[in-house]
Structure 1
C-alpha cells in the first residue's frame, strides 16, 4: 500500500463522525498491508 493511499485513508477517517464505527478490512495473504492498516488505525486513535 503506497503512501498516497494511506494519506487518503487518513483524510477519509478524519471526516467520519466518531459515532460511526469504522471497519478496516485487509487481505490476510498480504501481511504488509495488514500491518500498515493496523498501524494507521492505532495512530489515528480510533
Structure 2
C-alpha cells in the first residue's frame, strides 16, 4: 500500500465547492431575513 502523507492531496476543488456553498447559504439567509422584515412591516 502507498504511504499517505498528511496535507499532500490537492483540495482546491473542494475548497471552491465549500466557498460556493457558504456564499449561497449567506445569500439565502439574508433573503429570508429581508422577507421576514417585509412581512412584519406589511403585517401579513
Structure 2 length normalisation: TM-score?
A: 0.37
More helix by share: 2
Structure 1 length normalisation: TM-score?
A: 0.36
Q: Which has the higher contact order (CA 8 A, sep 6+)?
A: 1
